[in-house]
Amino acid sequence: MKLNDLAEKLSLRNLTLEIQIKESTCVSKGHASDLLSDVLANAPGGSVLVTIQVHMNVIAVAIHAGVASVIFASGMVPDQAVIEKAISEGLPLYTSKESTFDIAGQLYELGLRGGHG
């Protein structure tokens, strides 16, 4: 599924409008976790990460794990410095008022699967 379409279907707020997302950017995997050690170890490459973890390290860890985009759940919004770092790294960030559980459920319905799915 195209990342742009996914963001629209879930009514996500784009925190990194400066990033031009390529039309061809597609995602088929997802991961939900607030422990960045778990993200490093288990997030599938090219996946969408759903988290309430807004620490600066989320950007470095997401890049390292090859995560394609991060969705902050429960209305969490990271500091501007985190957003700027994401922009400089070309990592699209979104936020949603909905909980991790509900976002993950919607992603699943759209056909995304976890690392073992």
CB of 9 to other proteins, least distance (A): 29
Residues 15-44 vs other proteins: string with x where CB under 8 A?
Answer: -------------------xxxx-xx----
CB of 49 to other proteins, least distance (A): 12
Strands 69-72 and 48-51: parallel
Q: Which sign, positive or negative, has the C-alpha torsion 86, 71, 24, 10?
A: negative
CB of 43 to other proteins, least distance (A): 11
Q: Which tokens in the block code for residue 93?
A: 């960030």
E strands along 1-117, which residues?
A: 13-14, 30-32, 48-51, 69-72, 93-95
List all residues 6 or more positions away from 90 whose beta carbon is below 8 Å from its beta carbon: 19
Residues 55-74 vs other proteins: string with x where CB under 8 A?
Answer: xxx--xx--x----------
Q: Are 93 and 70 in contact (CB under 8 A)?
A: yes
Q: Does 77 bind other proteins (CB under 8 A)?
A: no
CB of 110 to other proteins, least distance (A): 27
Q: Which is nearer to other proteins, 64 or 113 (CB)?
A: 64
Q: List residues near other proteins by CB under 8 A.
A: 34-37, 39-40, 53, 55-57, 60-61, 64
